[in-house]
Amino acid sequence: MTTNVGIIGAGNMGSALAHGLLLTKEAELRLTVYDKVGERSEALARGAGGQIEVAPSAPELVRGAEVIILSVKPQDLEAMLAELRPELGREKTLVSVAAGLDLERLRAAAGPEPVLFRLMPNLAVASGSGVVAVAHETSTSTEGVTGLLGLFEGLGAVSVLPESQFDAVTAVAASGPAMLALVLEGLEDGGVGAGLPRSVARLFVQQMALGTARTLLDNSESPAALKDRVTSPAGTTIAALAVLEDRGVRGALLQAVRAAERRAGEL
Task: Supply the mean pLDDT for the chain.
Answer: 93
How far is the C-alpha of 114 from the C-alpha of 90, rounded, in Å?
5
Angle, helix 198-219 to helix 176-193, in steps of 10 degrees: 130
| Domains of the chain and any CATH numbers | 3-162 (3.40.50.720), 174-266 (1.10.3730.10)
Each residue of 15-36: pLDDT tens digit?
A: 999 999 999 876 788 999 999 9
Confidence of residue 1 (pLDDT cuts 50, 70, 90): low
- Res 254: pLDDT: 97
pLDDT digits (tens, 9 = 90+) for 178-198: 999 999 999 999 999 999 999
Q: Comparing C-alpha atoms, which of 25, 126, 130, 21 is closest to residue 69?
A: 21
Q: What is the pTM of this model?
A: 0.86
Tell me which H or E stretch contains 4: strand 3-8
Provide φ and ψ at 86, rounded to 5°.
-60, -20
